[in-house]
């Protein structure tokens, strides 16, 4: 991608803002939109151009990224009366980097195809740490030639892997979230066990992370649990949304995944405890309560 091209970006949350900033820092011209304009102030000060609506952004840009939360928000960004698809889109590339239901991804892709545009579903893994450090794992579904064309942009945020046709990125993200959910339960239970056994939790993490139990969750989120730091790198309610997508796909496929079913129940409990806006590491609060809640 030539750096004289203006790149569009919609969504400036915990993940979106640093991802967008990496493109700006790499010398690309940015046009941005967010439902909350205050979130854009620092980027505008750094040289990004503010747009009053997604449709205005589409008119300016040939490549447009979206990084928004719920399915309703994704649909609104693309299809509302001020959405990305309300102007001429032929020849443009739309890249959804959020976690979106495969059925909605297919709907967006079909509309784009019918109007001469291209879509890539490119959800990410790595949390707020990966977003800030430009070390995200990017799972891309779509046409290989289109993904190759925009690879320099992906390289500003992490490492991209082409997973297959449209929707393959989102299905890969479901695999990621299922793995994260099960791992998170194990890490939380290990910390609860360590406390009951009288171990130094930090020493426990240090030693087991060097062995077969080593993982991103243990390295990055277990220390936050010990500090009772539940600030969001990825919010509980957003994770519940993702696991809900995985549950729906599980049913469509005729699968039975008991670990996934348990995980979403536990995270729903975390949200009921008032931590829906906390980070996913707040799962430990629900598991701690389970010690005295035999009826859960």
User: By three-state DSSP, how is residue 64 classified?
Assistant: strand
Strand spans (E) along the chain: 6-10, 29-33, 49-50, 63-66, 93-96, 118-121, 124-125, 136-141, 158-164
DSSP state of 279: B
Give buried/exposed letters for 181-219 (b at 16+ CB in 10 A, else e): bbbbbebbebbbebeeeeeebeebbeebeeeeeebebbe
List 92, 173, 241, 269, catalytic entry = 173
Write down the residue that tokens 């949350």 correspond to: 13
Instruction: State the pairing for strand pair 158-164/6-10.
Output: unpaired
Comparing CA positions, the residue from 77, 93, 89, 97 lying closest to residue 22 is: 97
Q: How far apart are the first and last CA of the chain?
A: 53
Separation CA 65–CA 63 (nearest Å): 7
**How many secondary structure helices (H) and strands (E) does the chain include?**
14, 9
Q: Tell me, yes or no, if 173 is annotated catalytic.
A: yes
- Dihedral (Cα; 89, 90, 93, 96), 10-degree rounding: 40
User: Among candidates 69, 61, 88, 66, which has minimal Cα distance to 78?
Assistant: 66
Task: Output the CA angle 17-141-246, nearest 5 degrees.
Answer: 80
Give the residue numbers annotated as catalytic, written as ranges. Answer: 173
């Amino acid at each position: 991608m030539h750096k004289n091209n203006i790149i569009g970006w919609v969504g400036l949350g915990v993940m979106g803002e640093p991802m967008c900033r990496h493109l700006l820092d790499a010398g690309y011209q940015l046009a941005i939109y967010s439902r909350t304009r205050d979130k854009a102030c620092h980027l505008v000060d750094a040289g990004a151009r503010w747009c009053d609506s997604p449709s205005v952004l589409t008119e300016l840009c040939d490549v447009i990224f979206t990084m928004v939360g719920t399915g309703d928000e994704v649909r609104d960004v693309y299809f509302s009366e001020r959405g990305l698809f309300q102007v001429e889109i032929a020849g443009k590339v739309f890249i959804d980097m959020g976690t979106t239901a495969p059925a909605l991804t297919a709907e967006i892709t079909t509309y784009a195809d019918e109007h001469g545009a291209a879509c890539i579903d490119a959800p990410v893994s790595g949390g707020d740490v990966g977003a800030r450090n430009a070390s995200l794992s990017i799972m891309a579904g779509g046409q290989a030639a289109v993904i190759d064309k925009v690879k320099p942009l992906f390289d500003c945020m992490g490492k991209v892997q082409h997973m297959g046709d449209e929707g393959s990125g989102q299905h890969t993200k479901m695999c990621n979230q299922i793995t994260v959910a099960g791992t998170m339960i194990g890490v939380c239970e290990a910390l609860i066990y360590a406390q009951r056994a009288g171990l130094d939790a930090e020493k426990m993490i240090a030693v087991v992370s060097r062995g077969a139990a080593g993982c991103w969750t243990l390295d990055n989120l277990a220390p936050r649990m010990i500090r009772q730091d539940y600030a969001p790198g990825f919010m509980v309610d957003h994770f519940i949304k993702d696991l809900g997508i995985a549950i729906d796909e599980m049913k469509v496929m005729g699968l039975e995944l008991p670990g996934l079913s348990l995980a979403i129940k536990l995270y729903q409990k975390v949200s009921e405890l008032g931590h829906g806006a906390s980070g996913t590491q707040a799962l430990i609060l629900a598991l701690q309560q389970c010690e005295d809640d035999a009826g859960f």
